[in-house]
């Protein structure tokens, strides 16, 4: 190797060392700059990230609003909140699932195999038990089981048991209202969830919780006061249950409504259930409030509504008479009465008292100038739809309200026959609440009030008076209202003597309709009939509309006759137990 080559090699070594030194300086500068950025400029950000491993955010459940009923001028709670606990586990920290399951099973119940499976799962959060009492949760705490914790929750309590269960509904395990008031007003009752933070250990167990850790306060749900009077509700439920059991009916429903406001004072169904044990109900149809959700062909209770229309239009009056041969021919159909009264001249008093289908068709004809024609159909439809509000929801505060079925005057085929049948309550379906509201309008002088379940109470629980506003005025004329009222009084005196009370005004009409199957065909059989009875109770003025429906009672008489017996018992007990103002002498 010559001298020149030796010098070149030395120069290459020097260059490499210098490059390495430069690289080390650059890397050092970058590290210093990064440390400066992290420790000074982004100090707060990275400190927060470091703390995040030990800071957890917890939801604060908002107390659900309470529900009250009226008791005279005061209120009584019928839906409350109770403190309960959810027991959970983080399986990552459960070292011995079998031993933990052995210690827990006696306190939380259930199946040990299933419990062990949960404690061995790969999830970081598994629910072991819900709705544990404070005592149960304390005993679980005392076991000091690693990986097992508790969370405070609230559950709905229904201190009155099954009272008004379909009306109230219930709250499911996710805290969501189902059916009834709980479902319809869920957003108002729920409130808004709050948020808190707490320092935790590596297992997520809170180390410090105080008011300074509240990020967002929970907003309690709104309390709701119902128009329901607890005393009236109990009377109606007790009588209805006895009536359904006595007649071996499939089910029954009843309503008591203030005629001058639409306020519902009682709304009952039977069979019923306990909302606090909804998870034990096998037939979910029992959750449904039949008074608002189950339309049916109401039968002859439709006749007073038709008379109200004819009296208002001036085409007939209570003393109007006609010759009744026992049948009436409409197109290719012959319509007869339920009983053969023989061929004779009848008045409209007779039509109500004897419940004559032929007489109802006769009144419908008067709306068409003497025939069931387009004019008669349109007039009757306008009363049913625009004035009595059939075919549409009433807007009452209940989940699952049904519209019912009301066919238009020029909709489909066999129009004249269909509308002739609708004159006595067949070929049209309504709900009990629709029928009660319509009866209120024809008996209070002609004002239609939206039926309601929600009242107003002050902070001390005192019921506040309100001035109801009718959705429609002059549904029928005042004169027609008085005439219909008188007809119903006479009908009750003749057909339901058990309901007559000296010093009070009562009147009502019965209705029997054949039960239809799921395909719309009428069922055959002696007991496939539904019975209804609806009318009023009061003194000088109509105070309450009372409606009873029985589905397929197993009796030898008319289904409506059994409903009339239940109605009489309800109204007698209302008079005996309430301060109903009698008529002036």
Q: 338 lies in which domain range?
A: 229-275+287-577
Span 525-572, pLDDT tens digits: 778 899 999 999 999 999 999 999 999 999 878 899 999 999 999 999
Residue 14 belongs to a domain:
no
The CATH number of the domain where 215 resides is what?
A: 3.90.1310.10
Residue 446 belongs to a domain:
yes
Do the Cβ atoms of 227 and 69 come closer than 8 Å? no
Query: Is pLDDT at 54 greater than 50 in this prediction?
Result: no
> Can you give the pLDDT at residue 59?
64
* Beta-sheet strands, E only, within 90-223: 126-132, 148-157, 170-171, 177-178, 194-200, 206-208, 214-216
Residue 518 belongs to a domain:
yes
Residue 513 belongs to a domain:
yes
Residue 22 belongs to a domain:
no
Span 420-477, pLDDT tens digits: 999 999 999 999 999 999 999 999 999 999 999 999 877 777 778 778 889 999 999 9
**For tokens 């029985």, what's the residue?**
550
Distant-in-sequence, close-in-space partners of 370: CB < 8 Å, separation ≥ 6: none
Residue 145 belongs to a domain:
yes
Q: HEC string of 232-285?
A: HHHHHHHHHHHHHHHHCCCEEEEEEEECCCCEEEEEEEECCCCHHHHHHCCCHH
If asked whether residues 336 and 214 sit together in one domain, one would say no
Residue 39 belongs to a domain:
no
> Can you give the pLDDT at residue 174?
86
Residues facing residue 222 across a β-bridge: none
Query: Is pLDDT at 219 greater than 50 in this prediction?
Result: yes
Query: Is pLDDT at 51 greater than 60 in this prediction?
Result: no
If asked whether residues 430 and 520 sit together in one domain, one would say yes
Domain boundary among 207, 222, 237: 222
- Distances from the Cα of 168 to the Cα of 6, 185, 226, 275, angstroms: 102, 10, 10, 8
If asked whether residues 431 and 312 sit together in one domain, one would say yes
Number of domains into which the chain is organized: 2
pLDDT over 70 for what percent of the chain?
87
If asked whether residues 140 and 85 sit together in one domain, one would say yes
Domain boundary among 181, 207, 222: 222
Token digits of residue 488: 């119903």
If asked whether residues 172 and 269 sit together in one domain, one would say no
Most confident of 34-43, 132-141, 232-241, 570-579: 232-241
Average pLDDT, rounded, for the chain: 89
Number of other residues whose CB lies within 10 A of the CB of residue 507 = 24
If asked whether residues 247 and 366 sit together in one domain, one would say yes
If asked whether residues 237 and 203 sit together in one domain, one would say no
If asked whether residues 202 and 308 sit together in one domain, one would say no
161: left (phi over 0), alpha (psi -120 to 50) or beta: left
Domain boundary among 177, 203, 222: 222
Residue 103 belongs to a domain:
yes
> Can you give the pLDDT at residue 524?
73
The CATH number of the domain where 547 resides is what?
A: 3.40.710.10
If asked whether residues 263 and 361 sit together in one domain, one would say yes
If asked whether residues 237 and 204 sit together in one domain, one would say no
If asked whether residues 292 and 167 sit together in one domain, one would say no
If asked whether residues 204 and 271 sit together in one domain, one would say no
Per-residue confidence band for 242, with pLDDT thresholds at 50, 70 and 90: very high
């Amino acid at each position: 190797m010559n001298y020149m080559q030796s010098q070149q090699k030395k120069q290459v070594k020097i260059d490499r060392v210098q490059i390495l030194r430069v690289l080390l300086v650059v890397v050092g500068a970058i590290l210093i700059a990064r440390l400066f950025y992290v420790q000074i400029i982004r100090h707060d950000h990275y400190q927060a990230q470091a703390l995040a491993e030990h800071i957890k955010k917890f939801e604060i459940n908002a107390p659900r609003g309470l529900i009250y009923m009226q008791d005279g001028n005061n209120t009584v709670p019928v839906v409350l909140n109770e403190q309960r606990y959810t027991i959970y586990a983080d399986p990552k920290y459960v070292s011995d699932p079998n031993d933990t399951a052995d210690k827990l099973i006696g306190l939380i119940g259930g199946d040990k195999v299933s419990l062990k499976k949960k404690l061995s799962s790969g999830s970081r959060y598994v629910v072991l038990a819900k709705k544990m009492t404070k005592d149960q949760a304390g005993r679980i705490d005392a076991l000091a089981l690693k990986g097992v914790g508790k969370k405070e929750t609230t559950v709905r309590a229904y201190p009155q048991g099954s009272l008004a269960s379909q009306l109230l509904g219930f709250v499911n395990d996710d805290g969501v209202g189902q059916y009834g008031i709980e479902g319809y007003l869920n957003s108002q009752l729920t409130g808004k969830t709050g948020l808190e933070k707490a320092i935790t250990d590596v297992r997520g167990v809170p180390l410090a919780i105080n008011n300074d850790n509240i990020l967002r306060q929970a907003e309690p749900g709104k309390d709701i006061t119902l128009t329901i009077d607890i005393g009236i509700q109990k009377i109606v439920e007790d009588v209805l249950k006895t009536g359904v059991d006595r007649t071996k009916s499939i089910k029954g429903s009843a309503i008591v409504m203030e005629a001058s406001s639409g306020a519902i004072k009682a709304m009952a169904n039977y069979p019923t259930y306990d909302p606090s044990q909804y998870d034990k109900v096998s037939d979910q149809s029992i959750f449904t409030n039949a008074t608002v959700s189950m339309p049916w062909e109401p039968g002859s209770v439709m006749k007073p509504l038709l008379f109200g229309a004819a009296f208002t239009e001036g085409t007939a009056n209570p003393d109007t008479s006609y010759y009744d041969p026992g049948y009436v021919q409409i197109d290719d159909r012959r319509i007869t009465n339920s009983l053969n009264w023989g061929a004779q001249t009848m008045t409209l008093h007779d039509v109500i008292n004897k419940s004559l289908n032929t007489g109802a068709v006769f009144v419908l004809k008067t709306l068409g100038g003497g025939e069931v024609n387009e004019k008669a159909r349109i007039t009757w439809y306008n009363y049913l739809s625009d004035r009595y509000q059939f075919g549409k929801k009433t807007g009452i505060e209940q989940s699952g309200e049904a519209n019912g079925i009301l066919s238009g005057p020029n909709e489909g085929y066999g129009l004249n026959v269909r509308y002739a049948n609708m004159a006595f309550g067949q070929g049209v379906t309504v709900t009990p609440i629709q029928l009660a509201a319509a009866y209120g309008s024809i008996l209070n002088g002609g004002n239609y009030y939206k039926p309601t379940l929600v009242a107003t109470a002050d902070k001390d629980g005192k019921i506040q008076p309100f001035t109801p506003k009718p959705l429609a005025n002059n549904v029928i004329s005042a004169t027609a209202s008085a005439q219909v009222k008188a007809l119903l009084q006479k009908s009750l005196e003749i057909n339901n003597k058990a309901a007559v009370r000296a010093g009070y005004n009562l009147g009502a009409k019965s209705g029997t309709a054949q039960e239809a199957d799921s395909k719309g065909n009428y069922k055959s059989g002696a007991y496939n009939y539904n019975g209804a009875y609806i009318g009023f109770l009061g003194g000088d003025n109509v105070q309450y509309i009372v409606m009873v429906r029985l589905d397929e009672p197993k009796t030898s008489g008319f289904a409506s006759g059994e409903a009339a017996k239940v109605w009489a018992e309800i109204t007698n007990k209302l008079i005996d137990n309430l301060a109903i103002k009698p008529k002036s002498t």
